[in-house]
A = this chain, B = another copy of it.
Amino acid sequence: MRQSFMALLDSFGGDAASAISKYSTGTRLTAARRTLYREGEPVTEFAQLLEGWAFRFKLLPDGRRQILSIVLPGEPIALHTLWTDDLSFSVQSLTGLELRLFDRRALIDQMRSDGSLAFRLGEAVARELMLSESRLISLGQRTALERVARLILYLHARLKQRDLVEGETFPFPLRQQHIADALGMTPVHVSRVFSELRGAQLVDRVGASLAILDYARLVEVAGP
């Protein structure tokens, strides 16, 4: 039951993360609500999130925004920028961040000569692809209620893995606009769905945190 939400986690587990640690060039702090990278810019660095939440997104010329992924503590901002020189998306911070920076050039050069490193990073990208495809299923097939429930369960599982869940409560810096843009809904409807989940005593918002009150029933709501 809890399994399905754990299956795809840890796309950048100890293995890949430790393999690149020697290429770290230091860390950087960033404030909340900053645009870290902008679509179309050349990729100049490779970064892993140590603290805080960020998200990757793409803006359509008419203003529509799709959030591609939410980046949680421990995760690389976007692994696949190791293979491309132009950014195809933008990145914003939700909270204050601490980033670990890497020497991107050196990492790329090393990959070319070190099959084991390139393989492990390729594996992590392959996992990202599977995650992206599971989001595709949500957007293509699931109802708004299912999508919201799954997003909550996914975040919970990811954070639990990093030991960032207390009881069943975890920090939740997303505005409803973010959830809307991640799940292809309007903020108004996100609000109604949250009301429904709250009314059914499945979750609760406590300040900037979210509590899962009934895990089993939330999984049911999340659908097959």
Contacts and interface: CB of A to CB of B under 8 A. Distances in A.
Interface of A: 58, 60-62, 64-66, 68, 79-80, 82-84, 88-89, 108, 110-119, 121-123, 125-130, 132-133, 135-137, 139-141, 181-184, 223-224
Contacts of A66: 136-137, 140-141
8 contacts: A80-B125, A112-B119, A113-B115, A115-B115, A128-B129, A139-B184, A140-B181, A140-B184
| Copy total for this chain | 2
Contact of A132 (B118, B122, B127, B129): B129
Nearest to A140: B184
Which secondary structure characterizes the binding site on chain A? helix
A88 B137 contact: no
Contacts of A113: 115-116
A130 B80 contact: yes
A110 B112 CA distance: 13
Contact of A60 (B83, B117, B137): B137
Given A68-B133, A84-B126, A122-B125, 8 more contacts: A62-B223, A64-B141, A66-B140, A66-B141, A83-B127, A125-B129, A129-B129, A129-B132
B136 A135 contact: yes
Nearest to A118: B118
B141 A140 contact: no
Nearest to A56: B133
A150 to B, nearest CB: 12
A137 B135 CA distance: 11
A79 B127 CA distance: 12
A79 B80 CA distance: 15
A122 B115 contact: no
A177 to B, nearest CB: 14
A221 B126 CA distance: 33
Contact of A140 (B61, B84, B117, B139): B139
A224 to B, nearest CB: 4
Instruction: Rank and list the top 4 A-B pairs by shortest CB-CB distance, nearest first.
Output: A118-B118, A140-B184, A122-B122, A80-B126
